[in-house]
Structure 1
């Protein structure tokens, strides 16, 4: 029997795909059921994930293909989800650029030496070999594709450039990202220099994920809402567009499948129309916008993903069912991927996620058949 280590290198001859719902809807094709998955579906709300983490540092899990594969598969074993998303973290890109990050319990990621001034940009590693620095992610994707046995498609992802820049300057999480925004006002050219560097690495990283077996890509611009319309256009939207264009161009040039791409710009409800016109196949959204408003802004030429408030999973099953049905009905049965409006929270009950998935599937079948 071929070992996991050997499987990491076998980037072809994957088992045939049994459930292509999410790929079809991303491409605008008719589906009989609304596909559903959840951000952070491989995570701390699962006891089996906590068991893995009790024995391994967070980034050790990310860097060990067999462990990353295992936790990616955990929610697929439990729930009738329509996609898996590789277990990793958006901050592996700053790590690849030479920054040191520690995951502190109760605090989250902490950069030991964040960027304080434009002079610090020279400390970043440039012209890196992405295959060498991030090859462990590629190996995890390839292994997971084989281990999924075609059950569902596998999603790869990266953080958006503004979000990564914000973490690199703030040194961790922040409710205002004021240090990073200070750069945008004080050091405009240095900010663009950093964002261009990040775009180059992100593009190569995403293309590498497709080479490794990813069948769908998502870009997480998690701190878009911090910016506001003008700053978002200048420091996020233009770079998100570049990422999409370059990834698709590079995939086509390499004669690889041009996989669908999702953009999730949390808090950027003011920019949904713009986001729907920069080349992405799917626009994800958080829970702060009404589905009907979102559909009107985006139209029916682009697929929408979202947007149940993660806290709704705390509700009774009766209320949860009502909220899910209302959301699904407003978005419509086609060109729609059901998801939460952000990642599932660590104290969510797995049974509630199972109920969410089953309700979406059952109710969408009724909508499709009427």
Structure 2
């Protein structure tokens, strides 16, 4: 992949400093082009900034009328795997709400067909895998992720075009992948299952098969993350969407070690690219999240930001964690919820987001207000006795 998009390499940065314990970046990293870097990118690196950046998970979705013009007539994979459509859907919320991050419109299951696991997304039912993984022979028969540019060319076209579209705007381009645990669970279940029955049966009866699948997916995702970065992604988020199916002990064996391998391998090759780890249903596992070496920890809405800040420290960059259902509330309720989140997180090391995805039916004006409040965050925090670092200046477009 060395020949891909050399232009996205960082501008003359000094080597990133890391703590001896965790490998995370320390604050105070200096780049010669620091003031030219987008706000969200700087905060994800652990730098202080002039205000709190904002983006939303499931940022492009059916809550937007413009999105429904596509989703009502085209199946999901056609939308996500046709670069011109994926680019348009990625840009719609950015144009409407001026978010600080633009995330590629895609799916966590997108890399699976390159490994030999075909899937479809059925409207109203979600993902469906006709031939789910159930044996070691199937795991051994999976293909490696050798050449994503050939097997997943639309991902490169989508990201590289998005990067060109937003460069100079002050926005940051985000790529994303599912964690090995989440992709393994989908691959074994074949569809969403409230009990994760097939996967947990495998866990308790044939753990070697599950570990072999997780290992294969981890190696594939390391390549896939690098592919996204070389195509133009400036930050990558790891979604552990099925973390809520795991106890802390199960997470420590079947999820976190594999996610950590992706973080370590990506950091070794792309030290300039921050990594966000978001575990849906993971907020109760504070000890594990605190030990996670990703640059940013994404929090779901089932914990308080104050408790997370206390558990993980003032210098840990946190993302989240407003309940997405708040966006169905009154303007006053939205203002109160966002203000509480901002104040509890503090004036530094925070990326405002919802604690899960934006829900279908959410009023677009509520999403707009949510983003507006982030742009007002310096004044909101100042009114509550907090303020961003006065040393930071407004960013200059890259």
Aligned mates of 2:234, 2:370 — CA distance in 1 = 24
The answer to whether residue 89 in structure 2 is matched with residue 71 in structure 1 is yes
Q: 1:19 to 1:51 in 2, by over 3 A?
A: farther
Question: Structure 1, unaligned stretches of length 5 or more?
Answer: 1-8, 253-257
Aligned mates of 1:162, 1:127 — CA distance in 2 = 17
The answer to whether residue 85 in structure 2 is matched with residue 90 in structure 1 is no
Aligned mates of 2:240, 2:152 — CA distance in 1 = 20
**1:357-368 superposed matches below 5 A:** 357-368=371-382
The answer to whether residue 251 in structure 2 is matched with residue 237 in structure 1 is no
Choose which of 5, 12, 26 in structure 1 pairs with 2:7.
12
Give the equivalent residue in structure 2 for 1:158.
177
Aligned mates of 2:380, 2:355 — CA distance in 1 = 23
Aligned mates of 2:135, 2:5 — CA distance in 1 = 43
Higher helix fraction (1 or 2): 1
The one-character-per-residue Cα deviations of 1:140-192 (angstroms, maximum 9, x if unpaired) are 10011112243211000000000000000111112121211111111111111
Aligned mates of 2:262, 2:145 — CA distance in 1 = 17
Q: 1:293 to 1:250 in 2, by over 3 A?
A: same
Give the equivalent residue in structure 1 for 2:323.
309
The answer to whether residue 33 in structure 2 is matched with residue 33 in structure 1 is no
**1:1-370 superposed matches below 5 A:** 12=7, 20-126=38-144, 128-151=146-169, 152-251=171-270, 258-368=272-382, 370=387
The one-character-per-residue Cα deviations of 1:244-285 (angstroms, maximum 9, x if unpaired) are 000111235xxxxx2110000111123333323332110001
Question: Structure 2, unaligned stretches of length 5 or more?
Answer: 10-32, 388-398
Q: Give the structure-2-normalised TM-score.
A: 0.85
Q: Secondary structure at the match of 1:337?
A: strand
CA contact (8 A) 1:219 1:264 kept: yes
Moved more, 113-122 or 163-172: 113-122
CA contact (8 A) 1:325 1:360 kept: no
Q: Secondary structure at the match of 1:270?
A: coil
CA contact (8 A) 1:19 1:150 kept: no
- RMSD after superposition: 1.9
Give the equivalent residue in structure 1 for 2:15.
none
